[in-house]
Structure 1
Amino acid sequence: MIRNITFLMVLSLLTFACNNKVKEKNEAADNPINQSKETVIPETSLPLSNLNLPPGFKIQVFAEGVDGARSMAMGDNGTLFVGTRNENTIYALQDLDNDFYAEKVMVLDTTLEVPNGVAFKDGALYVAEVSRLLRYPNIEEQLSNLPEPEVIYDDYPTEFHHGWKYIAFGPDDKLYVPVGAPCNICERTDEDERFATITRMDPDGSNREIYAKGVRNTVGFTWHPETGDLWFTDNGRDMLGDDIPPCELNRATEMGQHFGYPYCHGGTVKDPEFGDKFPCSDFISPVQPMGAHVAPLAVKFYRGDMFPEKYKDYAFVAEHGSWNRSSKVGYRISLVKLDGNEAVGYETFIDGWLDEEKQEAFGRPVDILFLKDGSMLISDDFGDAIYRVTYN
């Protein structure tokens, strides 16, 4: 009798433990990649100790071996999609055990033409090539057997110069797609009115229209969480020296505004070739002129709860870094402090990817994405990695 009671008690305890384990596993599966828990920092060959962050912040590797990692988009089920520029590859990354490290890095396609831009909506992955837009419906259910994509638009210019595209869905459910200037400095809108613009369209590729003009090369934009205005970075022209013109952070408040290219740069610098045609006063000036040649790419507003309250609604910008300046600049995450719609400060948030003394870099920030727990992901197409920034 006693032996039977003991057996039943042990069996009951084992059943209770197993049920709890199943419950914990199911709860974790309901919220992949964004669980807040203590993270074991994985070993990395990247010299992250060289990076400088504000007190209380730390940075670690979220994924390595993502060659040429550029634009990022998060799927509904926690899959992180990553586009590339020169590698012609799109990736899918998965954090299988919710420890904020992507153990699984999948190559989805290596045959695309400069698939820099990725966006996610209604279960579908959108990918931007140079001249066309692709859609992969129900993508997270078909990662191991990628279907042929739907071509939703295939009539963009074919020029490779500034032909890579950043894409994102706006609060109006439109897909925004830039078309860069096909040159360092030129006036070619008479040839194709879409050059040096930001366009938008419906998710199925219909109703395409030009939203903003005079935009030389934007590779990052977002919308203000309160006003809904479009904020975008723009890379300034080259070959005017080390210190001019400034790169730009801009704000579009309505459709049809012109931001100066190729006539005026940074709101104040008259172009030596085209500047006599129109004065700078004819165009929308930047919210924040940035350093010359810093190559600003992603811009995102902070809305999470992990970082200190003072960072709410400030703009974080990934500065990819200069390529032809006599001494390199950029290679950092900068912070633009805002008071309403006005910029009141521009400072460094993270630097150290560039050794200024040796003029050598181990990373170049590209895109920024915030997870649901409030932490920040940063892609790096030079270090072939994605980092996660947290605050304790």
Structure 2
Amino acid sequence: MTKLLLFLLTLNMLATPVMAHDILEKLTVADGFTISLFATDVENARQLAVSKRGIVYAGSRKAGKVYALIDHNSDGVADRKMVIATDLNMPSGLAIKDGDLYVAEVERIIRFKDIDKQLKSPTYDVVYDQFPTDRHHGWKFIRFAPSGELIVPVGVPCNICEEDQRYGRIFSLDLENKTLKTIAKGVRNSVGFDFHPRSQALWFSDNGRDMMGDDTPPCEINRVSNEGEHFGFPYVHGGAILDPEFGVGKNIADYKAPALSLAAHVAPLGIHFYQGKQFPNNYEEQLFVAEHGSWNRTKKAGYKVAIATIEQGQVIKYTPFITGFMQNEETFGRPVAFAELADGSLLISDDFAGVIYRVSYKKK
């Protein structure tokens, strides 16, 4: 048994690099678009951020690393990969502001000042270290708000539970006075959000609870209309389903319903409003969604990139954009997060294949 296990583990380790180069043959992208590999061998690639110089930074979760990816000749392929930090605690999320790179670990936010200029010998300082230390749903996606504050979610340390006000929320962190303000509550585990380019409304993904069956409850895409709104967890799921344990005596109407209910267990992570000029006009300000994919469903679900078409703050259509990450119950990739390059092409990270894709469009 031990020899068989070692053989299977070795086989899995050997398979990953091959998959990274062959995965493009598995994927189908919307008509008119092409998908290529911007970078490979980026272990457990998660959130992305692009500096003004065009350097792409990638966080990780399991790997505990932060990467810098440089495309010197601007041909759409990174020709240099640098590891600028190691041994961090699930550094899944990162964001850039005024040339500084902010990285979210489970319990703290660290900052690499003027990062593009110190790649050879990067150092960081700790800007906040008062988040819970729980690793269950403890990894974070971060983004700066138009107002300048850092938006940070804190997931619940469980599948389903009722926790105190440190958990299940999306916070706004004022980096000057180190204070937190609740933007949204009743959020089980958000691993992606973005601000609408015109309305500035915050939209976020939320992963639904497990152990209620294959097809319930739905995962969610939510829109914050008023600061401090409650989105239901752990009492109400999908704006329509009372939790069998915690929903007793609760009123569904007391909680904010999702802007879009997705299939159960598809695990929406990164979401991104497209603002580039390369894609056709009908993609402008539309919401890209990375469905990371299920882990405990009888038949797998998710494993795609989709687009939520939004008009006047309402989702009117939800359509696949990239498919093929999973075929016949075999997983080839799992999309995570997005970032735009200066030319308007779209980067997508994949923490399973360890790659970053580049999606581009050429006018006919």
Please classify the TM superposition score into its range, dividing by the shorter chain length. Answer: over 0.9
The answer to whether the 8 A contact 2:105-2:139 is kept is yes
**Matched residue, 1:54:** 30
**The one of 132, 143, 152 aligned to 1:157:** 132
Identity %: 47
Please tell me whether residue 45 in structure 1 is matched to residue 17 in structure 2. no
Aligned-partner residue type, residue 96 of structure 1: H
Tell me the residue number matched to 2:161: 186
Tell me if the contact between 1:152 and 1:205 (Cα under 8 Å) persists in the aligned partners. Answer: no
Distance 1:235 1:44, change over 3 A: closer
CA distance in 1, matches of 2:142, 2:177: 13
Match status 1:172 vs 2:147: yes
Q: Which residue of 1 aligns with 2:230?
A: 258
Per the alignment, residue 384 of structure 1 pairs with: 354
Q: Which secondary structure does the structure 1 equivalent of 2:43 belong to? A: coil
Matches within 5 A, 1:14-33: none
Q: Is the 8 A contact 1:152 1:204 kept in 2?
A: no
1:149-174 deviations in Å (ceiling 9; x for gaps): 11111111111110000000010101
Q: Which residue in the other structure is 2:277 paired with?
A: 305
- What amino acid is the match of 1:350? I
After superposition, where does 1:313-324 map in structure 2 within 5 Å?
Answer: 313-324=285-296
- Give 1:293's match in structure 2, choosing from 253, 256, 265: 265
**Matching of residues 209-358 of structure 1 within 5 Å:** 209-355=181-327, 357=328
Instruction: Judge which range, 301-310 or 237-246, deviates more.
Output: 301-310
Aligned-residue RMSD, C-alpha: 1.2
For 2:301 and 2:20, locate their aligned partners in 1 and report how far apart those are by CA, in whole Å.
Answer: 25
Q: Tell me the secondary structure at the aligned position of residue 211 of structure 1.
A: strand
AA matched with 1:377: L
Q: CA deviation at 1:76?
A: 2.0
TM-score, L = length of structure 1: 0.86
Partner of 2:102: 126
8 Å contact 1:319–1:330 — kept in the other structure?
A: yes
Q: Does 1:207 align with 2:183?
A: no
Equivalents in 2 of 1:204, 1:237: separation in Å?
A: 35
Distance across 1 between alignment mates of 2:177 and 2:296: 37
- Matched residues in 2 for 1:82 and 1:221: separation? 17
Contact 1:304 1:373 in 2 (8 A): yes
CA distance in 2, matches of 1:108, 1:100: 21
- Structure 2 stretches of 5 or more lacking a match? 1-18
Structure 1 residue 146, shift from structure 2 partner: 1.1
The CA deviation at 1:323 is: 0.3
CA–CA separation in structure 1 for the residues paired with 2:343 and 2:68: 20
Q: What do residues 213-246 of structure 1 show as CA deviations (whole Å, max 9, x unaligned)?
A: 0000000000001110000000000000000000
Q: Name stretches of at least 5 consecutive residues in structure 1 with no aligned partner.
A: 1-42
The 2-side partners of 1:122 and 1:345 are apart by 36
How far 1:343 sits from its partner (Å)?
0.8
CA distance in 1: counterparts of 2:213 and 2:291, whole angstroms:
19
Contact 2:50–2:340 under 8 Å retained in 1: no
Which AA in structure 1 matches 2:286? Y
**Paired position in structure 1 for 2:334:** 364
Structure 1 distance, partners of 2:299, 2:107, is 34
- Between the two proteins, the alignment pairs up a number of residues equal to 344
1:116 aligns with 2:92: yes
Letter of the structure 1 residue corresponding to residue 269 of structure 2? L
Q: Verify the 8 A CA contact 1:194 1:210 in the aligned structure 2.
A: no
Q: Which has the higher strand share?
A: 2
Report the Cα offset of residue 73 of structure 1: 0.8
**Matching residue's letter, 1:196:** G
Q: Does 1:198 align with 2:170?
A: yes
Secondary structure of 1:243 counterpart? coil
Report the counterpart of residue 102 of structure 1 in structure 2. Answer: 78
Which one of the candidate residues 351, 362, 373 is aligned to 2:343?
373
Which structure has the bigger radius of gyration? 1
Closer, same or farther: CA 205–353 of 1 in aligned 2, 3 Å: farther
Could you tell me how far apart the structure 1 residues matched to 2:115 and 2:21 are? 32
Rounded to whole Å, the distance in 2 between the matches of 1:230 and 1:62 is 29
- 1:184 maps to a residue whose letter is N
